[in-house]
Structure 1
Amino acid sequence: MSNPFDRFDGIAVINLDTDLYKWRMFRRQAVKYGFADRLVRVPGVRAVPASYGCALAHKHCMDLAREKGWSSILIFEDDAKFIYDQEYVMDSLTRALEGAGKWDLLYLGSSMRENIFPVAAAKTAGDTVRSPGKWFGRFAYAVNESCYDIYDGLPDISVFTTQDRGDVLLERSRHLKKVMMWPQLVSVYNTPSENDPFIQDCDQFIEKRYTQFGMVDESSVKWGGGTDFDFAVVMSSYNRYSDAVRVINQIRGQQTVGTYRIFLLDDGSTEPGYADLQNTEDMTVLRNTHNNGRKGYWKSVGRIMHATEEYNYRYLVQIDDDFVLCTHFLDTLRHMFEAQKCDAVHYHINTEEFGVDRFRWGMECWVDGGTAFTREFLSSIRFRIDPVPESRWDEDPLLSSGVWQQISGKLRVSGACVFKPETTLAVHTGNRVSMMNPEERVRTNIKSRY
């Protein structure tokens, strides 16, 4: 079967320079659906209001199409996700293109405002309908050269109003031949909307609209958008090769219904054995050329978080290289996230001192090593760990790395919901002294009922 994406002369994705990980994530989808070799990245435009920058970026896509002499262009925003498998998408899009006739705009995904398909009509994948329609959203739509000039009248930002928003402009242009396909093939990832502060969960917002107006094939839809794995398990290790291997084997030996990928950072170790650790189907190995240690720990954490950005997963789990994990560690964490509806689980704790129930942040609350996060929270802080200045250690050279203090602050500022279980899910091997700061850490013997 021929690739229906070849029917578009050009394919572009809009992506801000500050969010290059989204470009990598989208390109992974493009590889899966067979159009990566034709995909062009168009830089997004950061502006206030955000809707002006969005409209300008879409105009740049159409300017590019005119410059290249393309007769059509398929435009995606970088948080777009296909919600059906490859074969279903290919078959549906092929039938839609063959049956749509002439069109100016063809929507593969949109934000519905009304049901434009007859309620009682039987629908077949690839059906299309024409409607001037009150439907918005430009995260996945094709544009014919007949309307490349639609944004040419975009006003200057100084006089730009909400009525000049790109989707409003397209909705007002009722002379355009707008075609909607059934089912909608594309939704968006679970991120807050920059253009509408009242939409804090785009994924669920679009899912609700699609379901409400019958725009999905319930028998085939995959709302997860092709999740790569459930858990990104991250670990930094320095001169504890045998311990690190034991932790890796613990993860691999978990009896879990979920999937995972391990991200191991060798922080410039000199112990033999680390060179034998290589990339595998379930593990990515990163290496620092020198030991960042405590004062450069922020660099190590930032690097390993950055390595996870291009993947679509549900939770990031940070583990220490000398942890002993409970038997059903990953499944227990997942249950806690789902039951508590929280943004983070601080699972390695001394419960006699710090054990509490689900809570929202107060000034006295904190997390430390042994914490798991939702991908949505990490996305909200752009997977970023800020530099920790050397002056931190001027008065007290035994201070910690400052990384967990920083993460605690980001959780607090965001109003995140953090859960601390009644008992720890991990303990340190033999209550070991820290490799990074042995003078600072004096541990009690934490035990787990798991």
Structure 2
Amino acid sequence: MTELCFEHAFVINLDHRTDRWARMTESLAQVGIAAERFSAISVRDLIGDQPSVALKSFLQRVDGPSPSAEHKLQTTWACMRSHLAIIRMARDSGWPSVLILEDDCEFEPYTRTVLNRACKQLQGREWGVLYLGGTLKKGGKKVAVSANLSAVSRIRLAHAYVVNASLYERILREAPESGLPLDWYYSEVLQASSNTLMVRPTLAYQRLFDMSDIEQVERRPKYKTRQMLQRWWARTRYGRSSY
């Protein structure tokens, strides 16, 4: 079995979302990835650690007036704190990298096969973040650098990514002060000046028909012919993982 590009993996999961943890446990087992549960920081845990004024202003500009604005502000901040807590633990433990997953993540059946190949192709290459999935925003780039890796920028979402130790300190220092949600900080700040890669084909998606704890809306499928063809081609080529 090929050595993966991370020794430690964690799933961020709120204590009351036992349903999501159960689904993640099953999904991880199917693709042969071992990950520990990380008890997510909740809004109740934020006493004495309130969101920055800059983040509040940013969300007001992006979303406009909304009855759920305060809820989104608090949960966005708590989400960032959970991600940063894992990165801090990785830094303090001296881990060379860490895989961070959110509990609404779903994997393609060929995840282990492609991930093995991508991690092998990482050897000898400088990198800071490796995305297993994400959304390419307008103005971003996605350029193939090997059979299963693309150099990317302006990739949004943070449901499945590996952080290299070279970026631990920078993320911990910059993200809380950026005035941005964490995935926006990654896409608009970090990726512009770090070697960010993404596995190709995409391995991890956010689960559909699942209520977002932050947005408070159910994710619905967006049928795009190109993406559907890409997924069909990848499943035909790679089949199911073997491990």
Establish whether TM, by shorter chain, passes 0.5.
yes
Matched, 1:69 2:67: no
Q: What are the within-5 Å matches in structure 2 for residues 160-239 of structure 1?
A: 163-171=179-187, 172-173=189-190, 174-190=192-208, 191-196=210-215, 200-202=217-219, 204-205=221-222, 208=224, 216-221=230-235
Matched, 1:102 2:126: yes
Deviation of 1:59 after TM superposition, in Å, equals: 0.2
Match of 1:151 among 172, 181, 189: 172
User: Within 2, Cα distance between the matches of 1:140 and 1:204?
Assistant: 19
1:112-141 per-residue CA deviation (whole Å, 9 max, x = no partner) reads: 2147346xx8x99x521213x221111010
Matched, 1:90 2:104: no
Match of 1:112 among 116, 132, 136: 136
User: Within 1, Cα distance between the matches of 2:160 and 2:232?
Assistant: 20
Amino acid of the structure 2 residue aligned with 1:195: I
Cα RMSD, aligned residues only: 3.0
Counterpart secondary structure, 1:103: coil
Counterpart secondary structure, 1:24: helix
Matched, 1:42 2:51: no
Q: 1:215 to 1:139 in 2, by over 3 A?
A: farther
Counterpart secondary structure, 1:99: helix
1:80-135 per-residue CA deviation (whole Å, 9 max, x = no partner) reads: 0102x2xx3222112212223221100001122147346xx8x99x521213x221
Deviation of 1:166 after TM superposition, in Å, equals: 0.4
* Structure of higher CA gyration radius: 1
Deviation of 1:221 after TM superposition, in Å, equals: 4.6
Counterpart secondary structure, 1:202: coil
Contact 1:3 1:90 in 2 (8 A): no
Q: What are the within-5 Å matches in structure 2 for residues 119-138 of structure 1?
A: 126-131=147-152, 133-138=153-158
Structure 1 unpaired stretches of 5+: 227-450
Report the structure, 1 or 2, having the larger helix content: 2
Corresponding residue of 1:21 = 19
Contact 1:96 1:181 in 2 (8 A): yes
Counterpart secondary structure, 1:167: helix
Contact 2:157 2:183 in 1 (8 A): yes
User: Within 1, Cα distance between the matches of 2:37 and 2:26?
Assistant: 13
Which structure ranks higher in relative contact order (CA pairs < 8 Å, sequence separation ≥ 6)?
2
Q: Which moved more, 1:59-68 or 1:93-102?
A: 93-102
User: Within 2, Cα distance between the matches of 1:221 and 1:23?
Assistant: 26
Q: 1:175 to 1:152 in 2, by over 3 A?
A: same
Contact 1:82 1:185 in 2 (8 A): yes
User: Within 2, Cα distance between the matches of 1:212 and 1:113?
Assistant: 16
Corresponding residue of 2:5 = 7
User: Within 1, Cα distance between the matches of 2:120 and 2:229?
Assistant: 20
User: Within 2, Cα distance between the matches of 1:147 and 1:168?
Assistant: 16
Q: State the TM-score, normalizing by the size of structure 1.
A: 0.40
User: Within 2, Cα distance between the matches of 1:215 and 1:63?
Assistant: 39
User: Within 2, Cα distance between the matches of 1:7 and 1:186?
Assistant: 16
Structure 2 unpaired stretches of 5+: 44-70
Deviation of 1:154 after TM superposition, in Å, equals: 4.4
Amino acid of the structure 2 residue aligned with 1:169: Y
User: Within 2, Cα distance between the matches of 1:212 and 1:55?
Assistant: 32
Contact 2:104 2:207 in 1 (8 A): yes
